[in-house]
Structure 1
Amino acid sequence: MSPPTFKTIDDLEPGQRLLVRIDINAPVEDGAVQNNRRFARHAETIAELLGDDHAIAVLAHQGRPGRETFVSLEQHADILAEHLDRDVGFVADTFGEDALAAIDDLESDDVLVLENTRMCDDELPEEDPEVKAETEFVQALAPAFDAYVNDAYSAAHRSHASLVGFPLVMDAYAGRVMEAEYTANSAIQNREFDGTVTMALGGTKAEDLIPVIEKVDDTVDRFCLGGIVGELFLRAAGHDVGYDVEGTEFFDHQWDDHRETIERVLDEYGDRLLLADDLAYETDDGERAEQAVEDIEKETSYLDVGSDTADRYADLVRDSEAVFVKGALGVFEDERFADGTVEVLSAIADTDCFSVVGGGDTSRAIEMYGLDEDDFGHVSIAGGAYVRALTGDPLVGVEVLERDD
Structure 2
Amino acid sequence: MFKTLDDLGSGKRVLVRLDLNSPVEDGIVKDNRRFARHARTVRELVESDHRVVVVAHQGRPGRDSFVSLDQHADLLAEYVESPIAFVDDVYGDRAIDAVRSLGAGEVLMLENVRMCDDELPERSPEEHANSEFVRTLAPEFDCYVDDAYSVAHRSHASIVGFPLVLPAYAGRVMAAEYEANSSIANREFDGPVTMVLGGAKATDVIDVMSALDDEIDHYLLGGIVGELFLRAAGYDVGYDVGDGELYDHQWESNAERIRSLLDDRAARISLPLDLAYEDENNERTECPVDGVSKTQPLLDVGSDTVERYGAIVEESAAVFVKGALGVFEDERFSHGTVALLETIATTDCFSVIGGGDTSRAIELYGLDEGYFSHVSIAGGAYVRALTGQSLPGVEVLARNE
Please say if 1:359 is aligned against 2:389: no
Please say if 1:141 is aligned against 2:133: no
Deviation sequence 1:378-401 (CA, Å, 0-9, x none): 000000100111112111000000
Which residue of 2 is the match for residue 42 of structure 1? 38
Give the deviation of 1:207 after TM superposition.
1.4
Deviation sequence 1:284-336 (CA, Å, 0-9, x none): 32211111110011000011111110111111111111000011111111111
Which residue of 2 is the match for residue 228 of structure 1? 224
Please say if 1:166 is aligned against 2:152: no
| Structure 2 SS opposite 1:311 | helix
Which residue of 2 is the match for residue 82 of structure 1? 78
Alpha-carbon separation, structure 1, partners of 2:340 and 2:292: 24
Alpha-carbon separation, structure 1, partners of 2:230 and 2:279: 22
Which residue of 1 is the match for residue 188 of structure 2? 192
Runs of 4+, deviation exceeding 4 Å: none
| Structure 2 SS opposite 1:402 | helix
Please say if 1:129 is aligned against 2:125: yes
Asked if 2 retains the 8 angstrom alpha-carbon contact of 1:6 and 1:401, the reply is yes
Please say if 1:241 is aligned against 2:234: no
Alpha-carbon separation, structure 2, partners of 1:210 and 1:167: 33
> Which of 346, 349, 355 is residue 345 of structure 2 equivalent to?
349
> Which of 240, 247, 251 is residue 251 of structure 1 equivalent to?
247
Please say if 1:210 is aligned against 2:210: no
Asked if 1 retains the 8 angstrom alpha-carbon contact of 2:164 and 2:400, the reply is no
Which consecutive residues of structure 2, in runs of 5 or more, have no partner in the other structure?
Answer: none
Which residue of 2 is the match for residue 9 of structure 1? 5
Give the deviation of 1:359 after TM superposition.
3.2
Which residue of 2 is the match for residue 287 of structure 1? 283
| Structure 1 SS opposite 2:385 | helix
Which residue of 1 is the match for residue 319 of structure 2? 323
Asked if 2 retains the 8 angstrom alpha-carbon contact of 1:198 and 1:320, the reply is yes
Give the deviation of 1:404 after TM superposition.
4.1
Asked if 2 retains the 8 angstrom alpha-carbon contact of 1:359 and 1:387, the reply is no
Alpha-carbon separation, structure 2, partners of 1:259 and 1:324: 24
Which residue of 2 is the match for residue 201 of structure 1? 197
Please say if 1:334 is aligned against 2:334: no
Asked if 2 retains the 8 angstrom alpha-carbon contact of 1:234 and 1:241, the reply is yes
Which residue of 2 is the match for residue 111 of structure 1? 107
Alpha-carbon separation, structure 2, partners of 1:393 and 1:230: 24
Alpha-carbon separation, structure 1, partners of 2:146 and 2:281: 50
Asked if 2 retains the 8 angstrom alpha-carbon contact of 1:8 and 1:175, the reply is yes
Give the deviation of 1:194 after TM superposition.
2.0
Alpha-carbon separation, structure 1, partners of 2:64 and 2:279: 34
Asked if 2 retains the 8 angstrom alpha-carbon contact of 1:277 and 1:292, the reply is yes
| Structure 1 SS opposite 2:219 | strand
Deviation sequence 1:153-176 (CA, Å, 0-9, x none): 000000000000000011110000
Which residue of 2 is the match for residue 26 of structure 1? 22
Deviation sequence 1:178-208 (CA, Å, 0-9, x none): 0000001100010111201111000111210
Asked if 2 retains the 8 angstrom alpha-carbon contact of 1:311 and 1:343, the reply is no
Which residue of 2 is the match for residue 58 of structure 1? 54
Asked if 2 retains the 8 angstrom alpha-carbon contact of 1:189 and 1:216, the reply is no
Deviation sequence 1:317-372 (CA, Å, 0-9, x none): 11111000011111111111111111111011101100100132211111211211
Alpha-carbon separation, structure 1, partners of 2:222 and 2:264: 19
Cα 1:359/1:263, change in 2 over 3 Å: farther
Which residue of 2 is the match for residue 274 of structure 1? 270
> Which of 85, 95, 101 is residue 99 of structure 1 equivalent to?
95
Alpha-carbon separation, structure 1, partners of 2:356 and 2:213: 22
Percent identity among equivalent residues?
A: 64
Which residue of 2 is the match for residue 175 of structure 1? 171
- Of the structure 1 ranges 307-316 and 162-171, higher mean CA displacement relative to structure 2 is found in 307-316
The aligned amino acid for 2:269 is L
| Structure 2 SS opposite 1:401 | helix
Which residue of 1 is the match for residue 369 of structure 2? 373
Asked if 2 retains the 8 angstrom alpha-carbon contact of 1:20 and 1:58, the reply is yes
The aligned amino acid for 1:196 is P
Which consecutive residues of structure 1, in runs of 5 or more, have no partner in the other structure?
Answer: none
Deviation sequence 1:243-286 (CA, Å, 0-9, x none): 00002110011111111111111111112111001111112322
Asked if 2 retains the 8 angstrom alpha-carbon contact of 1:196 and 1:322, the reply is yes
- TM-score (ref. length: structure 2): 0.98
Give the deviation of 1:86 after TM superposition.
2.1
- Of the structure 1 ranges 118-127 and 213-222, higher mean CA displacement relative to structure 2 is found in 213-222
Which residue of 2 is the match for residue 307 of structure 1? 303
